[in-house]
Amino acid sequence: MEAKKRTCQVQLTADGRLKHFLGIQGLSQALLTEILDTAESFANMGEQAVKKVPLLRGRTVVNLFFENSTRTRATFELAAKRLSADVLNLDIKTSSTAKGETLMDTLQNMEAMHADMFVVRHADSGAAHFIASQITPRVAIINAGDGRHAHPTQAMLDMFTIRRHKGSFEGLKVAIVGDLLHSRVARSQIRALSTLGVEEVRVVAPKTLIPTGIDSLGVKVFTRLEQGLKDVDVVIMLRLQKERMSGAFLPSENEFYHQYGLTQSRLRLAKPDAIVMHPGPINRGVEIESAVADGPQSVILQQVGYGIATRMAVMSMAMSGQLQERSQ
């Protein structure tokens, strides 16, 4: 409870508005719904002749990606540009950090350039929280994924996808399948789904990929895919995080697909109108069959597009909260 309180104090202004977006834990249903409603207002912007609004005009957003990414970095950059911000993509591999400069030196140099927002992706859990606690309060921090800890904007674009296709969260049964142990997005998804009021969250994985104590988050744990998929409304497949595996968690990828890959026949165990999601990138023939990934129940490509609107919502709300706090 104390950790949740501290997280909220860091993320929110005194009157409860968003000023950083570091994680889902501790945020209210009302605030998560506000993010989704704000994203809805941006959802069709890509179809307009002028794909910009002036909400972040004159503001500078710095993408600090200490870990490789394609989708997340691209959608954050597009989101910032559609909000009319100036965007700086810092290539860490060729920056002074690679020459021995400390993380804090890098951040302080960015502060000296009067940056207004840092979008941070880092391999260490808690990195975004650490940065938010160390830098000047006038810079908004958005967590774009930290270690195995959290990936809150991915979780929120997933929530947006579910609401878009299912209308509401009430009464839904959701199955999250795959590498739960190494997945940061799964933890954020579970917290968001629970806060938004779904009926049931199931997690499905081999025992070696189920984190200790995950049932304390209020989920139902399954080790057989067929049982976990029975009558669910939403199936979220997770990528095997092979780059984070240091031990023999699986006999082989073929064995994983045989036991846990989402095929057309297994999908038929879910409700007929169930949707299939995946945060990407997809490992076809490992986590999911191509016929399912490209099939009529898949909303995987829509997720990517919704990511721009959701990240626009988070960035605009955090900047608004920051500006309000500065004026007080």
Whole-number Å distance between alpha carbons of 297 and 146: 30
Are 180 and 186 a contacting pair, CB within 8 Å?
yes
The tokens describing 314, both together, are: 């988070």
Instruction: Look at residue 154 and give its three-state secondary structure.
Output: helix
The pLDDT assigned to 245 comes to 44
Domains and CATH numbers, the chain: 2-150+305-322 (3.40.50.1370), 152-301 (3.40.50.1370)
Q: Are 301 and 71 in contact (CB under 8 A)?
A: no
**The token pair that represents 54 in the structure block:** 């002036």
Backbone angles phi, psi at 69, to 5 degrees: -165, 150
Contact 177, 237 (CB under 8 A): yes
* Alpha carbons 298 and 274: distance in angstroms, whole number: 9
Q: Label residue 246 exposed, middle or buried (CB < 10 Å: 0-12, 13-18, 19+).
A: exposed
- Find the distance separating the first CA and the last CA of the chain, reported in whole Å: 29
Cα distances (Å, whole numbers) of residue 234 to 9, 82, 158, 291, 294: 33, 30, 11, 17, 16
Q: Alpha helix (H) ranges present in the chain?
A: 2-11, 29-42, 71-82, 103-112, 127-134, 152-166, 184-196, 225-229, 253-260, 264-267, 290-293, 300-327
The reported pLDDT for the residue numbered 124 is 85
Q: Which helix (H) or strand (E) holds 90?
A: strand 86-91
Q: At what angle do helices 152-166 and 29-42 cross, to 10 degrees?
A: 70
Torsion over CA: 96, 100, 103, 105 (sign): negative
- The pTM of this model reads 0.91
Residue 71's alpha-carbon distances to 52, 102, 139, 180, in angstroms, are 20, 27, 24, 20
CA 153/CA 310 separation, integer angstroms: 7
> What residue type is assigned to position 152 of the chain?
P
Residue pLDDT tens, the chain, 328 long: 444 545 556 899 988 999 999 999 999 999 999 999 999 999 988 777 778 999 999 999 999 988 877 889 999 999 999 999 999 988 666 554 554 567 788 888 888 888 999 999 988 888 899 889 888 888 999 999 998 889 999 999 999 999 999 999 999 999 999 999 989 899 999 999 999 999 999 999 999 999 999 999 999 999 999 999 999 999 999 998 765 444 556 667 888 899 999 999 999 999 999 999 999 889 999 999 999 999 999 999 999 999 999 999 999 999 998 887 776 6
- Dihedral over alpha carbons 214, 217, 220, 221 (to 10 degrees): -10
Q: What positions carry a catalytic annotation?
A: 71-72, 99, 121, 151
Spatial distance between the Cα atoms of 320 and 56, rounded to a whole number of angstroms: 9
User: Tokens representing 196?
Assistant: 């938004």
User: Going by C-beta distance under 8 Å and a sequence separation of 6 or more, which residues neighbour residue 235?
Assistant: 174, 175, 177, 229, 262, 267, 270, 274, 275, 276, 277
Q: How far apart are CA 221 and CA 228, in angstroms?
A: 8
